[in-house]
């Protein structure tokens, strides 16, 4: 089977399962057992979505959410990646941070939102910091594992060919740890995306997809809530599929360091 044919089949299968789920929902919404205000039909949700895209409001909300996510995520990579590397390379750093990571990682970032609100107020700073908190640990942890899993034979071969510490780091350790680093980024982004919506619900005022959902509850606007959920899901999916997917295809999949998922 050609690669294009394979991809088409995968797409078809994905569409089919989504359609089936949508059909079940629509049947429930139209069954008459539930109040239409609580379970709006899909055409209603679609109309709300189209209208909010047309007037630009949902796009603006999404832009705010994305801004917070990207800021927090970028910070988490900037901090988590070097820390993970330092942990793997120096046992003192490892001994210091490992207990800290173990203690802090299980705390859901959402549980910190009220505290951060008191400390940093309502708005971007708090949401960005929540995202940062959620994303840094998976980034750090995966990088740490990645550097430790670098094949010693590569280090030996590179050393025999005259690589010094600096070259060893950039030319062997970083690319050698890349499957883990990319996985770390993926997980960090996913956590960011989950964290931002929660943080926005209580710690953001007026803007952001999380805030839209929370605000819509006041007026029983379930169609707005569902439309926002669709946007949240779609953006997350696109990042996962296109950004991280192509990052993987360009690097670790091309190098054969990771196998492609079965279509």
Shorter beta-carbon distance to another protein: residue 81 or 150: 150
Q: Is 10 in the site for another protein (CB under 8 A)?
A: no
Stretch that binds another protein, among 28-36, 131-139, 164-172, 209-217 (CB under 8 A): 164-172
Q: Is 260 in the site for another protein (CB under 8 A)?
A: no
Per-residue contact string for residues 94-133; x = within reach of another protein by CB under 8 A:
----------------------------------------
52 is written with which tokens?
């909010």
Q: Which residues, 6 or more positions from 189, have their beta carbon under 8 angstroms from its beta carbon? A: 69, 73, 135, 239, 240, 244
Pick the closest to residue 14 from 240, 177, 248 (CA basis).
240
Answer for which of 162, 165, 218, 262 binds another protein (CB under 8 A) is 162
| 174 within 8 A of 255, measured Cβ to Cβ | no
| 12 within 8 A of 263, measured Cβ to Cβ | no
Pick the closest to residue 200 from 190, 187, 209 (CA basis).
209
Least separation, in Å, of the C-beta of 162 and another protein? Answer: 4
Q: Is 157 in the site for another protein (CB under 8 A)?
A: yes
Shorter beta-carbon distance to another protein: residue 13 or 249: 249
- Angstrom distance (rounded) from CA 43 to CA 143: 45
DSSP-derived secondary structure letter, 122 = S
Least separation, in Å, of the C-beta of 176 and another protein? Answer: 8
Q: Is 161 in the site for another protein (CB under 8 A)?
A: yes
231 is written with which tokens?
């946007």
* CA-derived radius of gyration, the chain: 22
Q: Describe the chain by its helix, strand, coil percentages, rounded to 5.
A: 80, 0, 20
Q: Is 12 in the site for another protein (CB under 8 A)?
A: no
Least separation, in Å, of the C-beta of 256 and another protein? Answer: 3
Q: Is 178 in the site for another protein (CB under 8 A)?
A: yes
Answer for which of 171, 217, 241, 249 binds another protein (CB under 8 A) is 171
Q: Which residues bind another protein (CB under 8 A)?
A: 151, 153-154, 156-164, 167, 171-172, 175-176, 178, 251, 254-257
């Amino acid at each position: 089977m050609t690669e294009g044919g394979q991809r088409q089949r995968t797409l078809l299968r994905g569409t089919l399962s989504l359609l089936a789920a949508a059909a079940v929902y629509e049947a429930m919404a139209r069954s008459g057992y539930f109040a239409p205000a609580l379970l709006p039909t899909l055409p209603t949700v679609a109309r709300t979505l189209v209208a909010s895209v047309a007037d630009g409001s949902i796009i603006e909300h999404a832009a705010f959410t994305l801004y917070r996510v990207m800021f927090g995520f970028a910070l988490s990579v900037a901090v988590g990646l070097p820390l993970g590397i330092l942990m793997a390379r120096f046992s003192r750093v490892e001994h210091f941070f490992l207990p800290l990571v173990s203690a802090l990682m299980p705390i859901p970032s959402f549980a910190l939102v009220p505290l951060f609100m008191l400390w940093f107020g309502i708005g971007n700073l708090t949401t960005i910091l929540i995202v940062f908190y959620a994303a840094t640990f998976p980034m750090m942890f995966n990088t740490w594992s990645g550097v430790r899993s670098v094949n010693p034979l590569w280090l030996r071969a590179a050393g025999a060919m005259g690589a010094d510490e600096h070259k060893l780091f950039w030319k062997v350790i970083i690319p050698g740890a890349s499957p883990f680093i990319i996985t770390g980024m993926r997980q960090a982004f996913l956590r960011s995306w989950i964290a931002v919506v929660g943080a926005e619900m209580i710690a953001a005022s007026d803007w952001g997809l999380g805030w839209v959902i929370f605000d819509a509850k006041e007026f029983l606007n379930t169609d707005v809530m569902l439309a926002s959920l669709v946007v949240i899901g779609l953006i997350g999916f696109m990042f996962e599929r296109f950004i991280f997917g192509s990052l993987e295809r360009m690097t670790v999949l091309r190098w054969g360091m990771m196998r492609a998922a079965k279509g």
